[in-house]
Amino acid sequence: MQALKQHQGLVAPLDRANVDTDLIIPKQFLKSIKRTGFGPNLFDELRYLDEGYPGQDASQRPLNPDFVLNQPRYRDASILLTRRNFGCGSSREHAPWALEDFGFRVIIAPSFADIFYNNAFKNGILLVPLDEGTVERLFQEVEASEGYRLAVDLEAQTVTTPSGEVLHFEIDEFRKHCLLNGLDDIGLTLEHEAAIRDFEMKHRSAHPWLFRDREVS
Amino acid sequence: MAGQTLYDKLWSQHLVKQREDGSALIYIDRQLLHEVTSPQAFEGLRLAGRKPWRLDANLATPDHNVPTTLKERAAGNAGILDPVSLIQVQTLDDNCEAFGIEEFRINDARQGIVHVVGPEQGATLPGMTVVCGDSHTATHGAFAALAHGIGTSEVEHVLATQCLVAQKMKNLRVRVEGRLGTGVTAKDIVLAVIGRIGTAGGTGYAIEFAGSAIRDLSMEGRMTICNMAIEAGARVGLVGVDDTTIDYLRERPYAPTGEQWDAAVAAWRELVSDEDAVFDKEVVFDAAEIAPQVSWGTSPEMVAPIEGEVPDPATIDDDTVKRGVTRALEYMGLSPRQKITDIRLDKVFIGSCTNSRIEDLREAAKVAKGKKVADSIALAMVVPGSGLVKRQAEAEGLDKIFLEAGFEWREPGCSMCLAMNADKLGAGEHCASTSNRNFEGRQGYGGRTHLVSPAMAAAAAIAGHFVDVRDTTLSPREA
C-alpha cells in the first residue's frame, strides 16, 4: 500500500449525498480479475453519455459536459469533496481501486459507509470526515474559486484551506499508523501468529462443530 | 454489571487480540467465496507466497456472473457467452482447485447465491463469524452468526490469517412487535425500517432485530431482514437463536450430528441478548401498522406504503434531501405525488439473495396461481436462489404455476439483482424487483428498479402496475 503523510491537491466537488458504489464503478467493470485499470470507468454513468462496457476505448466515448470531473478546472483533482454517506452499497473494492486509479488520494465528506471506509484505507486513500456545516462551506469556497487546493496533514490530522484556516479531523490510530507507513496489514497480523494459533486451539476444543476437518477419516 | 447483547457475546467469543490502537483481531470461522471479489485476493496470496490458513473454513460457488437460461447452463462454463464473465468463473474454479478449497461449480445442484447456499448447507451456524466479499453477508446474521461483508483485501487477509482486523460496533436494536397483517412480509418490515432510519441509520452499528413479529418469522423471513441491514448502513444484522433456528439447521449437510449436535444446540441456546443488555440505540415498530412497501426512488430509503404516493420535493426542507429526491424522480420518470399504484411496469424479477428461497417462491406462486402475467409486461422471471431451492420448488409444482402464468423459470444465480450476466433492464424500463438495491443503473443502464416483496412482485406482474396484495382474495401468509 502507498503511504500517505501529507497531501496537497486540487479539489473537485461532487454535490450529491449517498453516492453508492454502483455509481462509483458500475458492475460490468467488476468482471476484471485485476486490481488496476478502473480509472477510466470511475463514475461511468455520470461521466459519459453512452453506456460503458469492459474493454472499450474510453477516449472515444462522448463525455457528459455537465459532470464535474469533465470540467477542465477539476480535471487534475486529487481530493474529492462530497456529501454524506459516501460509498454506501456493495462491498466492491473496485470502488476505491477506481478512485485511486483516477488519481484521488483524499476524500472529504460528512460521513462514509462502513465497508467502503475499510476498503479505501487498504488502498492508500485517506477519508476525512468533517461536519456538514464545514463541508457546505468548503463546497461554496471550491465553487467560488478556480484552482482551489487543500493541504492535508495526516500526522497532525488537519486540513488547511487556502485562507490558512486549519480544520481538524478524526481517524483511528490503527488506520493512521498503517497509512502513514504504507503497511501491509496481513504482515502485521501474522506477527500475532502464535496468538492466533493459541486462540484457534481453544476455540476448537470449545466449539468442535465449527471445524469440518473433525470428520476426516 | 449489565448483561451482554448478542453482538457483544459473539464479539468476545472471537476476540483473538485487542490491540492498543483500538483495533482488534477477530477469528473467522467461515469464509464464503464467489467469482467477483476473490480473484485479486488469490492473486495477492500467490504474489506474497502465502497459503490459506485453514482450508475447511472456506466454501466457494460462482453466482454473480452465471447465466440463468437452461440453454446456456446446459453447457456448464462453456455455455457462458460473455468471454469476460467466463474468465471470472473459470478463475474461481482454477483458484479453488489450486488451493484446495471446496467449491460448488456451475452445474452442481448445490450451486447458487452464496447467501442462499451457506445456510441451506448448514455451512452457516449460530455462533460463527462469517465473512464474504459481498455486502449482503449480513444475511447470515439471521442465525445469530456474526457476519460481515468485506472487501477483496480483507478476503485475502482472512485467507492468509483466518482473522479480520475489526473495530467493535455499537449496538442498535430494532424491535418489531405485534402481528403482521395478511399479505405483509419480512421484506415489507425491512423496507419500512430502512424508510424510517435511512440508509445511514445503522452506520457503525450491529443491528439486532427483535420483538414478537421477528420471532414469528421463518428463517427465510429473518434472512430477508438481516440481508438488508446493509441497506440501512449496518454491516451486521442479527437475530437471536430460538427453536426456529435450531429446527432449520437439523440434518443440514454441514451441521453437526450426534453428540456434537446436542453440545452445539446447548451452546447456541445462549446466543441471545441478555434480558438486561443495554443497547446504544433502540427503534420500535408496530407490525400491524406496516403496509406492503414499494420503493419509488434510487435509494432503498425512498419507499412508500402501497396506498401512498411519490413525495413532492417542494415540501422538503433539507436542501441535500430535496436535490436527491428531485434527481431520483427525474431518473425514475415519476411525477411528484404520483400514486404508487399508478406506476406501470415493464419487467418483474423474483430472485436475489434477499428473496429467492423456497418460502419466497411459495408466496409468489400463491399470488400467481391460476392468473396470467399482464400483456404489457415484457418479461417476468423467477430465479431460484440455488439448485436445491429450484429442485424443491419443482417438487412442489411451483415451476408449473409460474410457467402457466407466463413467468420464465430460470437457473440459479444473482441474475438481474445486479445484472452482471445477461439478465438486465433496458433504459427507462420499470421493474418490480424482489432484490435489495434500487441504485441508478443497478439492474441495467438507465433501468428503474422498484423494490418489493415476492407477493407484491407477483401481484404487480399480473396487474401490470403495483397493486395492494392485501386487496386480492389471496392470503400469502395464512395464519
**What CATH number is associated with residue B136?**
3.30.499.10
* Cβ contact, residue pair A18, B16, below 8 Å: no
B65 within 8 A of B80, measured Cβ to Cβ: yes
Cα–Cα nearest to B295, from B280, B277, B308: B308
Name the CA dihedral angle for B247, B29, B157, B354, rounded to a multiple of 10 degrees: 0
Q: Are B34 and B114 in contact (CB under 8 A)?
A: yes
Classify A62 as helix, strand or coil. coil
Q: Are residues B282 and B298 in the same domain?
A: no
Give a yes or no: residue B478 inside a domain: no
Question: Pairing mode, if any, of strands B129-132 and B30-33?
Answer: parallel
**Beta pairing class for B379-382 and B347-350:** parallel
User: What's the pLDDT score for residue B302?
Assistant: 98
Q: Where are the alpha helices (DSSP H) in A11-153?
A: 21-24, 44-47, 94-102, 114-121, 132-144
Q: What angle do CA B146, B303, A88 make, to 5 degrees?
A: 45
- The CA distance from A84 to B19, in Å, is 30
Smallest Cβ–Cβ distance between A185 and the set B40, B128, B165 belongs to: B165
Q: What is the pLDDT of residue A137?
A: 98
Q: Do B207 and B270 fall into the same domain?
A: yes
Q: Are B162 and A198 in contact (CB under 8 A)?
A: no
Q: Is B414 annotated as a binding residue?
A: yes
Say whether pLDDT at A116 is over 50.
yes
What pLDDT shows up at residue B477? 42
Where are the strands (E) in B179-319, listed by range? 205-210, 236-238, 281-286, 293-295, 303-305
Give residue for cell 464473465.
B85
pLDDT at residue A144 above 60?
yes
Domain span at residue A156 reads: 6-183
Report which residue type is found at A146: E
Report how many domains make up chain B.
2
Give the count of domains, chain A.
Answer: 1
**What was the pLDDT predicted at B20?**
83
Give strand pairing partners of B175.
B210, B284
Residue among B153, B204, B439 minimizing CB distance to A119: B153
Placement of cell 401481484 in the chain? B459
- Asked if the Cβ–Cβ distance from B264 to A209 is below 8 Å, we say yes
Residue at B424 is within a domain = yes
Boundary-marking domain end, from B266, B291, B316: B291
Strand intervals (E) in B239-360: 281-286, 293-295, 303-305, 347-350
Question: How much is the pLDDT for B472?
Answer: 67
| Helix ranges (DSSP H) in chain A | 21-24, 44-47, 94-102, 114-121, 132-144, 173-181, 185-190, 193-206
**Domain C-terminal end among B259, B291, B323:** B291
Q: What is the pLDDT of residue A23?
A: 97
> Exposure pattern of B294-332 as b/e (b: 16+ CB <10 Å)?
bbbbbbbbbbbbbeebbbebeeeeeebeebbbeebbebb
Q: What angle do CA B207, B212, B216 make, to 5 degrees?
A: 100
Chain A: give the shortest CA distance to residue B154, in Å: 8
Considering chain A, what is the average pLDDT of its residues? 95
Residue pLDDT tens, chain B, 479 long: 789 999 999 999 999 999 888 899 999 999 999 999 999 999 999 999 999 999 999 999 999 999 999 999 999 999 999 999 999 999 999 999 999 999 999 999 999 999 999 999 999 999 999 999 999 999 999 999 999 999 999 999 999 999 999 999 999 999 999 999 999 999 999 999 999 999 999 999 999 999 999 999 999 999 999 999 999 999 999 999 999 999 999 999 999 999 999 999 999 999 999 999 999 999 999 999 999 999 999 999 999 999 999 999 999 999 999 999 999 999 999 999 999 999 999 999 999 999 999 999 999 999 999 999 999 999 999 999 999 999 999 999 999 999 999 999 999 999 999 999 999 999 999 999 999 999 999 999 999 999 999 999 999 999 999 999 998 654 444 43
For the cut 90, the answer to whether the pLDDT of residue A28 exceeds it is yes
Q: CATH number of the domain that A122 lies in?
A: 3.20.19.10
Confidence (pTM):
0.96
Q: Do B56 and A213 touch (CB under 8 A)?
A: yes
Asked if residue B463 and residue B350 are part of one domain, the reply reads yes
Closest Cα in chain B, distance from residue A21 (Å): 9
Residue A214 has pLDDT above 50, yes or no: no
What residue type is B42 in one-letter code?
F
- Position A185 scores a pLDDT of 86
Residue A211 to chain B, least CA–CA distance (Å): 7
B280 lies in the same domain as B145? yes
Residues 24-63 (A) with a CB less than 8 A from some CB of B: 26-28, 30-35, 45, 51, 54-55
Residue B278: predicted pLDDT: 97
Residue B479 covered by a domain: no
Portion 134-173 of A in contact with B at CB < 8 A: 172-173
Residue at a domain's end among B254, B275, B291: B291
β-bridge partners, B451? B433
In this model, does residue A89 exceed pLDDT 90? Answer: yes
Range of the domain at B301: 293-472
Of the pLDDT bands very low, low, confident and very high (cuts 50, 70, 90), residue A217 is: very low
